[in-house]
Structure 1
């Protein structure tokens, strides 16, 4: 850190209340995460209506994840000279159009294409919303702001996805897609009104400078932690149903209640993790990784007992993803003059970790490990998170203490 990067002003004090725009952005992420996972609860209806197998209909989930992996950084580069407010509004408009296509479409390839394009819009919204939230809240409350934005996504698992599945059973599977399109259009004027000019960049940064900024070693350590933390938790979450029914002996009708408990825990954990991360970012990421690994190890050992298994799944929801807003804030800071591209890469890392982790976990179901196989995989992947988070913590301790830095000026 050079002397020129420090300011003579005292470290900023976190505001008592976050700006209203952060809550508006949280509504947007609620819509984005609802559409990512609501398909899981509608697969039988979609498959029956389109005349495809349930396994093939599941490609609607896979193609969305792939679209998020490649779309988030691609859109960050394509929209780098576009005002952030315009990008957010355009992303919501494309999101709404994609859902209208799905709601009207009868061709399965057309639906796959619409989901892929919608995922690009989702990646663009998520990346830009993260940067706008950190700018609006200021460096002293950036993790708290991202915790609230992330909580909108977690609320999707608690409210959005179950409501979408229930509505799909009552009105047909196309109904939730119409609702999401309408809600996205209703959010556009809120973005237009509450995202202000001071949350924009002062001037565009040359592309070569942005690409140089994301070569930061610290950023790639953050990205590794993003991939392993979500990979570890969601590889277990993806296959928690057979674990609870086949291993713990829980009735299938009770599994949704356990999943709601996981989602509620994730919602609380994301908000609390964001608050802790502003004051102690590196300690938060290391402790969360360690505790998550211990919870998963305990689940490996106690998954045959119903009460401990249910309690541990709820605890996994509370702890497992609580460092995500801190990691997103670190991605913004570590990317220096390319904050949007940095957080877009973190979105890709989250989705890549989820895809690889859940894919590996699914392959273990046919082995001798059976239903406990995904938990074994999740434990190993979660333990790997300790490597990059510890390296980041040690690098942070070697830095000389000084006043807080603005996310856009933080060194890589």
Structure 2
């Protein structure tokens, strides 16, 4: 069954003729995807996008609730910030670990169990009274989030077929981007009205509804693992040099973009002179740019994956450099922040799709490793950006250093592109 989703309607920018090298045929997934280049994606792709919308809201909404959490649990705001660090750590460790632990489960059951664990984590957080318990609940939630995203990417690519794999990954991941635009602001607003526990209760209810939807729309035959697939087979993906190049690109991309985004408020207020009350609107612009870029990249990436990743890396580095140089001008800064969201996430669905393809017989592990790599980049970028603030560059330090880090993405992306242009002879 195929429909037009509201998520897709937002970014129906243009139709492109999609031609991509087919993904390896494996025993992991047995969804009968339509041949050719479908104008619409299967309904299951949009159902999975709603799941990632919940995941993205959970991941990012805590930033807007930190003062309330700190006051209620009698800890400092800095200590409450550990809730974000623990979540990132859970994603880094949890995505590949959960992919291996659920090795022999059908995809539908893995997604349902992940959503169930996600719901339990939020239930514990909503009922708990101690900060340590809340930290543990956030870690468990991150494990579930990593597992869901890793499997959802593979389900989407198989459901859409080889000709629309990047586009399908773009739609699935757009749920997380949409969380920045809609879910996170709504969560912060609800937290002000009913307290910080209110958004956690809401996510428990929405996760329960998502379990019903996943159980209804992910086909019974969605088996991720055949009899020949084992832990050893999954780990064989680690021997692929191209997988490691993709993972390196994931790390440097997120480190450059989100390392700057973490400290964008001081840049906008101190350098651009934007009133603090207007900064959230600029951040919504960043989220909107990221949403459009994510889906546009998914469409374009099926036609020209390597040109997309190389061009996105160059454009991201130039945008960050311009942001540092022109941060004294309010209008230019706002436009560049929106462009940073766009260019910074154009390559993301393409990189995920390439990792799934290059992983061969271990697509789920390939997908899980990209989730871990993106979160590693976020953690590393935030640390680097914090150190950059202490440089003589001041508030422009994160953007300037971020431009150099983002430019490093050109190394693995160009290497992959050259390797595809001049493939090594195969020996059977």
> How would you bin the TM-score normalised by the shorter chain?
over 0.9
1:326 shift after superposition: 0.3
Using the TM superposition, give the Cα deviation of residue 399 of structure 1 relative to its aligned residue in structure 2, in angstroms: 3.0
- For these two proteins, the number of residue pairs brought into alignment is 394
- What residue number does 2:118 align with? 95
The 3-state SS of whatever aligns with 1:337 is coil
* Matching of residues 239-388 of structure 1 within 5 Å: 239-388=263-412
User: In the TM superposition, what is the alpha-carbon distance from 1:199 to its structure 2 partner?
Assistant: 3.4
CA distance in 1, matches of 2:59, 2:325: 32
| Counterpart pick for 1:190 among 208, 213, 221 | 213
Task: Name the residue aligned to 1:408.
Answer: none
CA contact (8 A) 1:357 1:377 kept: no
Q: C-alpha separation between the residues in 1 aligned to 2:339 and 2:302?
A: 23
User: Distance in 1 between the 2:264 and 2:71 partners?
Assistant: 25
Verify the 8 A CA contact 2:86 2:135 in the aligned structure 1: yes
Contact 1:135 1:199 (8 Å CA) reproduced: no
Distance in 1, Cα, partners of 2:170 & 2:298: 4
RMSD: 1.6
Map 1:200-211 onto structure 2 (within 5 A): 200-201=223-224, 203-204=226-227, 205-211=229-235
Distance 1:155 1:364 in 2: 29
1:237 correspondence with 2:261: yes
TM-score (norm 2): 0.90
TM-score by length of 1: 0.93
The corresponding residue for 2:15 is: none
Does the Cα contact within 8 Å between 1:99 and 1:177 map onto a contact in 2?
A: yes
Distance (whole Å) between structure 1 residues aligned to residue 129 and residue 37 of structure 2:
51
Residues 237 and 365, structure 2, Cα contact 8 Å, conserved in 1: no
How much does 1:224 deviate?
Answer: 0.4
| Deviation for aligned residue 1:49 | 0.3
Q: CA separation in 2, counterparts of 1:134 and 1:269?
A: 19
> What are the Cα deviations for residues 332-359 of structure 1, in whole angstroms up to 9, with x where unaligned?
0011000001110000000001100111
* Structure 2 unpaired stretches of 5+: 1-23, 26-33
Paired residues for 1:28-39 under 5 Å: 28-39=51-62
SS state at 2:37 partner: coil
1:115-264 to structure 2, matched below 5 A, reads 115-201=138-224, 203-204=226-227, 205-264=229-288
